[in-house]
Amino acid sequence: MEILRSVVVLVHLVGFAILFGAWVVEAVSRRARVTSLMNYALLISLVTGLALSAPWGLDHDLNYAKIGIKLVVLIIIGALLGIGSARQKRNGSLSPAIFWPIGILALLNAGLAVIWH
């Protein structure tokens, strides 16, 4: 059970790595666009995060306040991705006010996960 949980944590981290990595690629190349890879990565983070929110294969209690905040942050990222892709299709570009919070919130969620126990 513990090994299975660790595998799910690993896939959860892959979701974060793809989301943040895809965002950094756009930021560094100054394209500031949302991509479908970000949507898939967010879905991976959501599904694995929900699986990890059940108390199995654990020797400690889960921090449900932290989990709740992470879920809200993920929903905000999802909304920004949705609004961003619609606006980008309509206008051909995306406002920095939509693009920047996506990466910052992804990093915030990873920070919450690692720093707040």
Which among 21-29, 30-38, 48-56, 90-98 is the span making contact with ligand HEM, rule CB under 6 A?
48-56
Which of 109-116's residues contact partners 24+ apart within 8 Å by CB, and which partners? Answer: 109/16, 109/45, 109/70, 109/73, 109/74, 109/77, 110/16, 110/20, 112/66, 112/69, 112/70, 112/73, 113/66, 113/70, 116/63, 116/66
Which among 22-30, 32-40, 69-77, 88-96 is the span making contact with ligand HEM, rule CB under 6 A?
69-77
User: Does residue 46 interact with ligand HEM by CB under 6 A?
Assistant: yes
Residues lying near ligand HEM in the complex (CB under 6 A): 9, 12-13, 16, 19, 45-46, 49-50, 52-53, 62, 67, 70-71, 74, 77, 106, 109-110, 113-114
